[in-house]
Amino acid sequence: MKNDGWNFEHTYSQLPPIFYRNQNPATAPAPKMVIFNQNLAQSLGLDSHTLSSKPELFAGSALPHGAKSISQAYAGYQFGHFTVLGDGRAVLLGEQITPNGNRVDIQLKGSGPTPFSRNGDGYAALLPMLREYIISEAMHYLGIPTTRSLAVVLTGKDVYREKILPGAVLTRVASSHIRVGTFDYVHAVGTPDDTRIIADYSIWRHFPKLENTNKYIMLLREVAKRQASLIASWQLAGFIHGVMNTDNMAISGETIDYGPCAFMDSYDPDTVFSSIDTAGRYSYKNQPKIGAWNLSRFAEALLPLLHEEQDEAIELAKTEIDYYWEIYNKSWLSGMRAKLGIMNEEHDDIELVTKLLELMKTYKLDYTSTFRTLSYPAKTSPLSSISDFTTWQAKWQARLSRQAQNQQDIFDIMQRHNPAVIPRNHHVEEALAAANHGDISPMNSLLKALYRPYEEHMIYSQPPKPTACSYQTFCGT
């Protein structure tokens, strides 16, 4: 039988049984391909032409050549409260070894009940899976570390939520699905030896250069560095994850689990899109703090490995949390400098950035288009009619004059750091509404623009018209 390019290994399922359960996906009665990511498939070494016509492999009705499906065990601090979870509606098919030697997980999401389903049915609806496809691909082309989406397939089986919805399965590609919640779980129900096993595996999988160092402290440091850099990139792009529970924090530093996420339109640090985040725990402004909070839970799980004396282990962990903030602040300010064309460093740069954001909040200006407009000197800025902006602009221009780059180089730099196209909420909803009626062409048009986010687009570069209604997103379970 032709394997269509599948090249699976199964190192995770060689770990002790505490970390997973063997689990086959449910059979889909009538699988139908909705969308298939040809470019991603080719980069994985897969026969994209053949596989795009085999929806059964991406719906759970048949397993790809060499697959061995499991569901992973993990827990999570959900809105601050510890809960034992696990893959309640997903199976890991294996680790694909790509032509360039990378190891990536291939997971089916929405593939039916597992031992971790609790009271859920294990299935997923079409529109949330398409939404994850759109947003994750947009993040990739913006250069933000992320899981990817290989395919979305209709199962032919309805799912029951507030109403009856068509069921679907998303094929997700990730560096791994090891989460902070994986360590939370082992810390709660396992032994220090179990923690050491998953820590050693994580180092082997993601941080092999740590093998000959004080590796558990350095594991914490590397995860801190990746999370700080990731969350800074979210803030710079105006992205709001929505549910930053520890089970949604991958130690690889990739964005994972696109539930109630969205990109901000008008700048407001208090922005929340999730319908369930009524207290604003995961608002835009809180994302960096929650990143540090989640990292602290990771550090707690690692304490027995950091030092035999708990007090000393805690002090070592605190040092790495401080390091997280150091990397976050440096990454965010460096990114803001680039968005404003600033290529050297001055002490007052933070004040210049902060003042601009204050103006944007006060006058309810669109986050993405304001920065993009500043990148083009011939364009009229939405700030130009605001008297306060004149003072800020004069300081900005004076700041730019104190560096070596000429004006054209400065604006070229800004245009490479300020996207023209993001997955605007109204365009995403339009694409999903059409897909719900069987028309995938608006989604394909949107994706085509998102693949070139730094190029102007007549339709997709435009912010939405003002509305009195607040945009809400849902977990999509």
Q: Which residues are catalytic?
A: 247
Q: Determine the distance from the C-alpha atom of residue 30 to the mean position of all C-alpha atoms in its chain, rounded to a whole number.
A: 30
Residues 96, 105: Cα–Cα separation, whole Å: 6
- Per DSSP, the three-state class of 24 is coil
For residue 280, the number of C-alpha atoms closer than 13 Å in the C-beta half-sphere is 8
Burial class of residue 129, CB neighbours in 10 A (0-12, 13-18, 19+): buried
CA-CA distance, 145 to 253, in Å (whole number)?
Answer: 7
Q: Give dist(CA 451, CA 148) in Å, integer.
A: 13
> Does residue 83 sit in helix, strand or coil?
strand
Distance CA 20, CA 116 (A): 10
DSSP code, position 281: T
Inter-residue contact 106 to 94 (CB < 8 Å): yes
Structure tokens at 329: 């602040």
Q: Which two tokens stand for residue 252?
A: 């690889």
Distance from C-alpha of 296 to C-alpha of 189, rounded to nearest angstrom: 19
Q: Which residue has the tokens 């008297």?
A: 387
Using alpha carbons only, what angle is made at residue 27 by residues 24 and 30, rounded to the nearest 5 degrees?
Answer: 155
Residue 398: both structure tokens together: 């004076």
Q: What's the one-letter identity of residue 131?
A: R
